[in-house]
Amino acid sequence: MTSIQQNPFAELLEQTMLSFLKEKMETLMKEEIKNYLQVEEPDVANSRNGYYPRTWETRHGVISDLQVPRDRQGHFQTELFEPYQRREAWLEDTIIHMYKGGMSTRDIAAFIEKMFGGQYSPTTISNITGTIVDDIAAWQQRPLAKRYSVIYLDGMYVKLRRQTVASEVIYIAMGIDEAGHREILSFSVGGQESAYGWRDVLRDLYDRGVHEVLLGVFDGLAGLEEAFKETYPKADVQRCITHKMRNTLPKIRDKDKADMVTDLQSVYHALDREVALANFDVVKAKWGKLYPKEMESWESQLSVLLRFYDYPPMIWYAIYTSNPIERMNKEIRKRLRPMNSLTSMDAAEKIVYLEATAYNERWSNRVIRGFGDPDTKEALQLLFEKKYPKQA
């Protein structure tokens, strides 16, 4: 690795490793062409035709004169690499990993150039990360499960550069399936968050197989509940309590905020719905004269704010807010932040896709706490059967 200072022993070890790799690769290719001419194509008039040199970049450094055998008819192709491949696949994986971590294509190009001493422009790095685009398209069209106990919806804003830089939304849908596994179901980038945008997201989920949903969890965006009910009319709606609290507290005087939070927590931390309603009556009596609009707003939305009480107690913590999807969004923001204003929508999609697939891989074999409880599973199955009875 030419531009990184090394001691003589390290340089000797590197050269020894490269010589060893070169020797073994050339030996393998000699055996490959021998097998090709004598076993695979013995009846074809063909023979060896010397070698051609190939530069090959490895994780240990660059082999500048790898001798690749060729045949006279030009049909032989080694299995060690593709015809125009110049580096091990690990480099692409490393570049994609750095890109996912939030490094710009310019920073990655500078780093890789230091490693190998060659010219790696930001455009080259962008082309390498561009191989993800086909994967994104396939991922966004993949079939989904028929049943999801919970679907969370949340939008997050990022800066995108088109002709100018502006904040645009990323729509993200997350689900918990029958087995209790959590996964990112979909994402889409662009525009301003609206019920119309969410309607498209939900129709896409339905078209990809999500036909039976028990509960939708999301914030109070105007028209979102109606859009959700258009696609899943039999599903319940849980308004995110965390979002409701965030909307309420800015309207409360600083000296009252701590007490207000404690009092409202007595509502959604109650043992059951009846106690929650009784506690709200106390809260309303205490604060109704000082903050009448805020108390009226809570009272008008209690049915969707306390919907989680209709579900097994062991999963209440997981369904009365959209915190699970917000934690995912926080990770995406962390990856996007070093990139400042993104160059394009494609750049944002690459980052979200890499983060989403990594998230799904982490959670693919983990059952969300509470959802694996036998009583909870039985209760959820009964809810599915009640909402979506089998046709005779």
31 lies in a domain?
yes
Q: Tell me how many domains the chain contains.
A: 3
Q: Is the pTM of this model over 0.75?
A: no
Do 357 and 307 share a domain, yes or no? no
333 close to 351: Cβ distance less than 8 angstroms: no
115 lies in a domain?
no
259 lies in a domain?
yes
Do 230 and 348 share a domain, yes or no? yes
Least confident of 25-39, 137-151, 164-178, 191-205: 25-39
Do 137 and 228 share a domain, yes or no? yes
The two structure tokens encoding residue 123 = 């455009």
Q: Which element (helix H / strand E) includes 49?
A: strand 48-58
Do 144 and 214 share a domain, yes or no? yes
Query: Which DSSP symbol is given to 77?
Result: -
Do 370 and 307 share a domain, yes or no? no
Give me the residue label for tokens 């060896």.
48
84-141 pLDDT, tens per residue? 666 555 566 667 666 656 566 667 777 766 665 555 666 666 666 666 777 888 999 9
Asked whether residue 217 carries a pLDDT value surpassing 70, the answer given is yes
Please name every residue paired with 148 in a beta bridge, in sequence order, or none if there are none.
177, 213
Which of 66, 87, 108 is a domain's end point? 87
Rounded to an integer, what distance in angstroms lies between the CA atom of residue 173 and that of residue 194?
14
Do 268 and 252 share a domain, yes or no? yes
Do 189 and 287 share a domain, yes or no? no
232 lies in a domain?
yes
The two structure tokens encoding residue 158 = 């990022």
305 close to 241: Cβ distance less than 8 angstroms: yes
Query: What was the pLDDT predicted at 103?
Result: 65
99 lies in a domain?
no
Query: What was the pLDDT predicted at 122?
Result: 64
Do 137 and 231 share a domain, yes or no? yes
In 3-state terms, what secondary structure has residue 164?
coil
Query: What was the pLDDT predicted at 343?
Result: 58
Do 148 and 226 share a domain, yes or no? yes
49 lies in a domain?
yes
Asked whether residue 3 carries a pLDDT value surpassing 60, the answer given is no
- Please, what sign has the CA dihedral across residues 131, 137, 143, 149? positive
Strands (E), the chain: 48-58, 61-71, 147-161, 165-177, 182-189, 212-218, 236-239
269-300 pLDDT, tens per residue? 999 999 999 999 999 999 999 999 999 999 99
Q: Which domain holds residue 232?
A: 130-236+344-392
Q: How many CB atoms lie within 10 A of CB 136?
A: 18
Give me the residue label for tokens 């207000």.
260
